[in-house]
Chains A and B, each alone.
Chain A
Amino acid sequence: MRRLLSVFTLLATALPAAAAAGPLYQEVQTNRAITISMFLAVVLVTGCVVYRAAKTTKTTADYYAAGGAISGFQNGWAIAGDYLSAATFLGIAGITSLFGADGFMYTVGPFFSFVTILLVIAEPCRNVGRFTLGDILSLRSSSKLVRGTAALSAVVVSTFYLLGQMVGAGKLMQLLLGIPYRASVIGVGALMVVYVTFGGMKATTWVQIIKAALLMLSGIALTLLLLERFDFDLLRFYDAVATSPAVQDHVRTLMKDAAPGSGVDYGQRFLESGLLLKDPVDQISLGLAFALGAAGLPHIMMRFFTVPDARSARTSVVISMVLIGAFMIMVTMIGFGAALFITPQQIMAVDKGGNMAAPMLAQYLGGGAGSVTGDLLLAFVCAVAFSTILAVVSGLILAVSAAVAHDLYVNVLRDGISDQKEQMRIARLSALGIGAVGIVLGLACEKQNIAHLVVLAFAVVASSNFPVLLFALFWKRFNAGGIVTGLTVGAVFAIGVVMVSPNMTYPKKVAADAKKVVELLEKKQTAGVPLSEKEVKSLEKARSDWARNKDGRSLVGLDAPLFPLKNPAILSVPVGFLAAIAGTFLFGHRREEEKFDELYIRQNTGHGAAEAADH
Chain B
Amino acid sequence: MDGNRIDWAALARMPKFVELHTKRRAFLLTLWCFGSLCFYLLPICAGYFPEIMRTRLLGRLNVGYFLCLLEFGVIWGIALYYTRKSNAVFDPLTREVVEEIRREVAR
| Residues of A in contact with B (beta carbons under 8 Å apart) | 101, 104-105, 107-109, 111-112, 114-116, 118-120, 234-235, 238-239, 241-242, 268, 271-274, 277, 279-281, 283-284, 287, 291, 311, 314-315, 317-318, 321-322, 325, 328-329, 474, 594-595, 597-598, 600-601, 604-608, 611
Residue-wise, chain B 47-78 has the 8 Å CB interface mask toward A (1 for contact) of 11010011010111110110011011001101
Q: Which residues of B contact A322 (CB under 8 A)?
A: 76, 79
> Could you list some 15 contacts between A and B, CB below 8 A?
A104-B68, A108-B39, A111-B71, A114-B75, A115-B36, A119-B35, A280-B43, A281-B47, A322-B76, A325-B76, A329-B69, A604-B24, A604-B94, A605-B20, A607-B97
* Interface residues of chain A: helix, strand, loop or mixed (majority): helix
> Are B65's CB and A104's CB within 8 A?
yes
Name the interface residues of B1-30: CB closer than 8 Å to any CB of A: 1, 3, 6, 8-9, 11-12, 17, 20-21, 24-25, 28
Q: Which of B20, B59, B69, B97 touches A239 (beta carbons < 8 Å)?
A: B59
> Are B9's CB and A597's CB within 8 A?
yes
Minimum distance in angstroms from B21 CB to a CB of chain A: 5
> Are A116's CB and B11's CB within 8 A?
no
What size tier do the contact residues of chain B reach? 35 or more
Minimum distance in angstroms from A234 CB to a CB of chain B: 8
A265 to B41, CA, bound (A): 26
Q: Which of B47, B82, B98 touches A283 (beta carbons < 8 Å)?
A: B47
Assuming A321-B75, A605-B98, is B83 touching A279 (CB within 8 A)?
no
Q: Which residues of A contact B78 (CB under 8 A)?
A: 115, 118-119
> Are B42's CB and A604's CB within 8 A?
no
Assuming A118-B79, A325-B72, is B9 touching A594 (CB within 8 A)?
yes
> Are B3's CB and A598's CB within 8 A?
yes
With a 10 A CB-CB cut-off, give which of B6, B75, B97, B101 has the most chain A CB atoms: B75
Assuming A238-B59, A283-B43, A607-B101, is B28 touching A273 (CB within 8 A)?
no
Residue of B nearest to A593 (CB): B9
> Are B60's CB and A272's CB within 8 A?
no
Q: Which of A105, A242, A274, A608 touches B60 (beta carbons < 8 Å)?
A: A242
Assuming A118-B79, A601-B8, is B53 touching A273 (CB within 8 A)?
yes
> Are A597's CB and B71's CB within 8 A?
no
With a 10 A CB-CB cut-off, give which of B11, B17, B39, B76 has the most chain A CB atoms: B39
A114 to B54, CA, bound (A): 28
Q: Which of A120, A287, A325 touches B32 (beta carbons < 8 Å)?
A: A120
A298 to B78, CA, bound (A): 24
